[in-house]
A and B are shown apart, each in its own frame.
Chain A
Amino acid sequence: MTVRAFEYVRADDVGAAVAMVSADPAAQYLAGGTTQVDLMLKDGILEPERVVDITRLPLRGITADDRTLRVGALTTMEELAADPTVAGRLPFVRAALLAGASTQLRNMATIGGNLLQRTRCRYFRDPTVPDCNKRTPSTGCAAITGAGARMHAILGAGETCIALHASDLCVPLVALDTVVRVRGIEGERRIPLTEFYVLPGDRPDIETVLRHGDLVTGIEIPLPPAATRSGYLKVRDRASYEFALVSVAAALTVQGGTVTEARLGLGGVGTIPWRARAAEQILTGAPATVQTYRAAAEAELRDPFTVPGTAFKPELARRTIVRALAELGGGEA
C-alpha cells in the first residue's frame, strides 16, 4: 500500500465542481471510489493532488417516461438494478448489473463511475511495470508478451494495447444506443455511448472523448419496444464475482420467424464496450435460426487480434453469441 498526500474536497455544486477540476490538471473526481481508491491507494498508479468527491452532488435518481429512462450519474449499481422500469423493460440491463462485482461493491459503485472504470489489465495496475502505453505513452505493452492475458481484449485491440473495458453494464447500454449527458466548462453535451469511447490506436492513454474536468451527469436509455426480448449471458470460470471472459447483451424482436430488430453488445472482448454492428446487420431481416446466429457471430469476429492467452476467445465469443441469440429468438435445430 502506498499513499501520496492529496487534498480532499467535497463538492456541493455541479458547476463549481466542474470549474475546479477543469482548472486543475492534478485534480480528479471521486464517486463511489471502487476504481479510483484502488488505483490511488492500493496500486499507486493514480496520484492526484486534489480529489473532488462528487457523491453529494444532486445527480442521483432515476426517472422514466414511455420512451426513455434517465439515470443520474451518482445512482448506484444496486439502485439501478432494483428500479421497476429496469426490471420490467430492460431485464438485460438488470441482469448485467447483477452479474457484476459483488453486492458490497454495487452498493458503492455509481453508474457514472461504471462507465469510466479503468481497465483491469494487471500490467497497467502495477507501477513497477515500466512498459504500458496506456499508463505512459510509447513505453510498449507488457501484456502482449506477458502471462495470464486471458482477461484481455481481442476486438479493437492491437500491438499498442489489448486492455479490456471490463464493464458489464456498458454492454447492454451500448447496444441500446444509450446517451451520456456530460457537463463541461462550456456547458452540457449529449454524447451517444457508441461515440463516447476511443479505440486505443496510437494513444491507448486516451480512452474517451471527455476533456479533463468534464463531469458525467447522467445517462438516457431509450426503452426498447414491448415486443423486444433481451438477455445477458456472461461466461466466466468463477460462478460469481468475476469479470467476463465473454459476455453478450442481446435484444431481439422476432416477427413471424424473422428478426426485425437486433441489438447486440459484447463484453469481455473489446477495448471498448463493443457494439456488434456487423452481427446486427446480418441478423436484421434474416430468419431467426441458428444458422443466422452463427453467421452473425462469424461476421463480428472476422478479424480478432489475439495473443496466446486469448487465442480461445474468438470461438468462445462466437458460441456465446449464438447461445444468447438462440435463447431469445429460438430457431434451434
Chain B
Amino acid sequence: MTMTRPVIVGAGVDRVDGPLKVAGAAPYSSDIDLPGMAHVALVRSTIAAGRVTRLDTGAAEQLPGVLAVLTHHNAPRLATGPATNLGPTPPPPLQDDRVRHHGQYLAVVVAEKPYQASAAARAVTVEYEREEPVLRIEDPAGEVRTDPFGMDSARGDSAGALAAAEVVHEATYVTAENTNNPLGLFATVAQWSGGRLTVHDATQWTSNTCQTLAQMFGVPESAVRVHAKYVGGAFGSGLRVWPHVVLAVMAARTVGRPVKLVLSRPEMFTGVGHRPNTVQSLRLGAARDGRLVAIEHEALQTVAMDDENMEPVASASASAYACPNVTTRDRQRRLNIPCPGSMRAPGEAQANFALESALDELSYLLDMDPLDLRLRNYAEVQPQFGLPWSSKALRECYQVGAERFGWSRRDRRIGAMRDGRWLVGYGVAGVSYLWWQVHCEARATVGRDGTAYVRSAATDIGTGTYTVMRQLSAELLGLELDQVRFDLGDSDMPWSPQAGGSGLTGALGNAVHAACRELIRAFLRTVVNDSASPLRGCTIDDVTVSGGRIHHRADGKLGESFVAILARHGLDELTADGVSDPPDPQEVGLAPAGAFAAKFVEVHVDPELGLLRVPRVVSVVDGGRILNEKLARSQIIGATVGGIGQAILEETVTDPRTGRIANANLGDYLVAVNADIGEIDVTFVGEPDRLTPVGTKGVGEVGLPGTAAAIANAVHHATGKRIRSLPITIDELLD
C-alpha cells in the first residue's frame, strides 16, 4: 500500500473544533458540571520556607456550606506517583508540615458553592515557624545538582582547543523566569462512584494522569478514567499531575460527592510550573576563517526543593554545529520556589538565546556576516553520532529566509540603518530543535455505514490534533474528511504519550498510520478466501484505498468498498490497533532530526527613550512533512509571539525577601499584545523526514527559540548595545 496523493493531508483544512470553540460550546474541564457537585478552594502558604506550627480550621468549618477542610493533619496518606519520561511525579500534597515555597497548598476547603469555599479558605488561619528561604539562583546556600539529566556531553578537547584558538569569545547570558499562562484556567472535576474514579482535567497527558491517580490512591488503573476533551492551552504546564489535581480527587473522596476545583490566575503562577531562569556561560573558540574549534556551554537553572524538572539546557548545543571539541554541562540550584516545568521549547528557549547570541558576538570578532558564520559551521552530519540526519534543510531555511527578509540589504555597520528617529537593526538566529518521540497507540474502526472512527488517549491542547489526525486517517483509509471521526482526550482509549516535546504529531501520526494499515489488513484477511471478492488473496502491498474502497494498485476498478465487505460477511464493523515506537538510530543508520528553523528579525530602537519595537519576523521552518499548512503556520506564528514575549516583556518577578511572586496576574505579567506584533512571515521548506512512515517533525515549539536571540542580535546591530539578559527592557536600552 502506498499513500494516496496528499489532497487531504497538507491542505489548510480549518480546525474541526473551531466552530465549537468560537461558539463557546466546547466543554473545557472548567465547564463540566455534575449533579450534586461541590466546590474546592485552596489555602496557600504565605512564607517560602519553614514549618506550619498551627493550622486553625475551626472558624472555617463553621461557615455556611462548608463540607470539609483538609490539611496535613487529616488528609489521607498517599503513595508517590510513577516516574515518567519527564522524571518523577510531583510529590503528593498535604503529607507533612514542611513549607518549601510561597504558594504551596496547605489546606483544601470543600463547600457547596465556590464563594463559600473561598470565604472559608480565607477563614483558615496558619501560623509558621519561618526559616530563611533560598531564593536567588546565585545564592550559594542552595544545593547544586550537577548533570541532573545525565546528558552532559564532551567530545574532543574543548579546553585545549580554546587555549589554542585564534579567536575566543566568552560571555555570560541570563534568562528570566517566565510563566506559561495558558488562557484557560486549569480545572479538575473529580467524581468517585463505587470505587471508580472519573476525572475531567486540563492535562496534556490523560494516560499519565490516569496511571498517577491510580497509583497515588491505590486503585487499579482500570478503575480510573481521565477526560480532557478540550484544553484551553497549556504550553507545557499540563504535562505533569500537579498537586491541585490530586487535591480535587482527595476532596471528592472525602466528601463522597463530585467536586470541582478551578485554579485562579495567581494560583496558575505557583501551581503548574514555569520556565526556570538560567545563568549560562558560553565559550566559543574559532579559527580566523570562522570555523568553530570549540564550544563550551554551561547552564545553571533553578529547581524546587522537593521536586524535579527535566529541562536540559546546555546539552542542546552539542548537536547544533559542526565543531570537533564541545563540552556541555547542566546544573540545577535548589531554591524555595514553586517547581519549574516545561514551557514551550523548554531548555531550548534559554539555550538558544545564549548560543545564538554568542555566535553573533563571535561574528563581530571575526568581522564576518553572522549568517555566513552559521553556514560556515553547518552540521552536515549529526555531530554527536556522526550519522547522516534523517532530514535537514536548515541551509534552505537560511537561504529562503535571507531572501524573504532582504538580508542582503543589511548595512553591516552598527547603527548605520535608520527609519526617522528609530535606529534599525537586523538580526538572525538558527534553531536546531531536538528530536523527541515515544511509544504511542491508536485504534481505527470502519463500520457498516462506511465511516471511520479513529481514536487515541492523546490530547489536543489547541494545536490541532483533532484536525490533522482526522485528515491523516481520511487519507490512510481513502475516505472523505466528513466520513472520519477522530476522537481523543480519554484515558480509556489506547495509550498515548503527552502532547509535548513537539513529539505527539509524530508519535500519534505513526500510530494512526499503523492502525489504519492494520485495519486494511483486517479487511483483506476477511476476504482472503472470499471467491466473491476481487481482493481475494491480496496483501496490503498489492492494494491501495480511495473513495471508500480497497482496490488493486494497478487497476482501480478491481476492488470493493469497506461497506460491501462488511455486508457480505455480516459484520457491523472491523477494528484494528496500531502502535508506533521510536526507531533505533543505529539500526536505521540515521540520526533522528527534529525541526530546524531560521529566524530573521528587524527591530527599531528609539535610543533616547529606550523604546524597542519588532516590526518584522521572518521564520523559515523545516518541519518535515506538513500535515496541515494552516495549522502549522499558526503554530509558528503563536510561538514567534511567545518568543517576542520572552525577548522583550515576560518576567516572573519573585520578591527577594519573601519568595512571593509579585506579578502573579495578567495585568502585571506582560505577555505580548497585538500592538507588539508586526509582520510575521512563515515559510516551510524541506522534505518528509525519512525516519518514519508519516514523515512529520513536530512544529509546536520550533517557532519560539531563535526569536529572542535574533532580537538581541538585531538590537546590537541597531545600537551597539549587547544585551545578554532577557527580557530586554527600556531601562537597558537608554543610552
A residues sitting closer than 8 Å to B (CB atoms) are 1-5, 42, 44, 120, 122-123, 126, 128-129, 142, 145-148, 150-151, 235-242, 245, 312, 315-316, 319-320, 323
Contacts and interface: CB of A to CB of B under 8 A. Distances in A.
A315 B609 CA distance: 9
A296 B730 CA distance: 23
Nearest to A130: B46
A240 B46 contact: no
B670 A240 contact: no
Contacts of A240: 673-676
A129 B659 CA distance: 11
A3 B118 contact: yes
Nearest to A143: B662
Nearest to B653: A148
B731 interface: yes
- In this complex, the interface size class of chain B, counting residues with CB under 8 Å from chain A, is 35 or more
Contact of A239 (B114, B115, B675): B675
A151 B609 CA distance: 16
Nearest to B421: A323
Given A238-B649, A316-B610, A316-B734, A2 B119 contact: yes
Contact of A5 (B119, B264, B654, B657): B119
A235 B731 CA distance: 11
Given A5-B119, A237-B729, A238-B676, A148 B734 contact: no
Given A238-B676, A240-B673, A2 B609 contact: no
Interface in B659-675: 660, 662-663, 665, 667-668, 670, 672-675
A44 B122 contact: yes
A239 B654 contact: no
Contacts of A320: 609
Nearest to A128: B46
Contacts of B656: 146-147
A262 B349 CA distance: 49
A312 B657 contact: no
Contact of A120 (B667, B674, B727): B667
B709 interface: no
Contacts of A315: 734
B734 A312 contact: yes
B400 to A, nearest CB: 29
Contacts of A242: 670
Contact of A4 (B119, B613, B672): B119
Given A4-B119, A150-B731, A240-B676, A122 B668 contact: yes
Nearest to B103: A128
17 contacts: A3-B115, A4-B119, A44-B122, A126-B660, A128-B46, A146-B662, A147-B655, A148-B653, A148-B655, A235-B611, A235-B730, A237-B648, A237-B670, A237-B727, A238-B672, A238-B676, A240-B673
Contact of A148 (B46, B613, B663): B663
A18 B674 CA distance: 42
A258 to B, nearest CB: 25
Nearest to B263: A1
Given A4-B119, A237-B648, A239-B676, A148 B610 contact: no
B326 interface: no
Contact of B673 (A148, A241, A323): A241
A237 B649 contact: yes
Interface string B608-621: 11111100000000
B479 interface: no
Interface string B593-615: 00000000000000011111100
Contacts of A323: 608-609
Interface in B632-658: 648-649, 653-658
B264 A1 contact: yes
Given A1-B264, A146-B657, A319 B608 contact: yes
Nearest to B730: A237
B393 interface: no
Contacts of B41: 1
Interface string B97-128: 00000000000000000110011011000000
Contacts of A312: 730-731, 734
B561 to A, nearest CB: 53
B530 to A, nearest CB: 64
Contacts of B673: 238-241
A239 B675 CA distance: 5
A205 B673 CA distance: 34
Contacts of A236: 730
Contacts of B655: 142, 146-148
A129 B46 CA distance: 8
**A44, A128, A129, A142 pick with most chain B CB within 10 angstroms:** A128
Given A237-B729, A238-B676, A239-B613, A145 B668 contact: no
Contacts of B121: 2
A42 B118 CA distance: 11
Contacts of A241: 673, 675
Contacts of B115: 3
B44 to A, nearest CB: 9
Nearest to B267: A1
A151 B649 CA distance: 14
Contacts of A123: 662
Given A238-B649, A240-B674, A323-B608, A122 B663 contact: yes
Given A238-B670, A316-B610, A128 B660 contact: yes
Given A238-B649, A238-B672, A145 B657 contact: yes
A240 B413 CA distance: 32
B362 to A, nearest CB: 29
Nearest to A4: B119
B654 A147 contact: yes
B700 to A, nearest CB: 25
Given A123-B662, A239-B675, A4 B122 contact: yes
A207 to B, nearest CB: 20
B448 to A, nearest CB: 51
Given A120-B668, A237-B612, 11 more contacts: A5-B119, A44-B122, A150-B731, A237-B648, A237-B670, A239-B613, A239-B673, A240-B675, A242-B670, A316-B731, A319-B608
Given A128-B660, A146-B662, A323-B609, A1 B118 contact: yes
Given A147-B654, A239-B613, A323-B609, A129 B660 contact: yes
A147 B609 contact: no
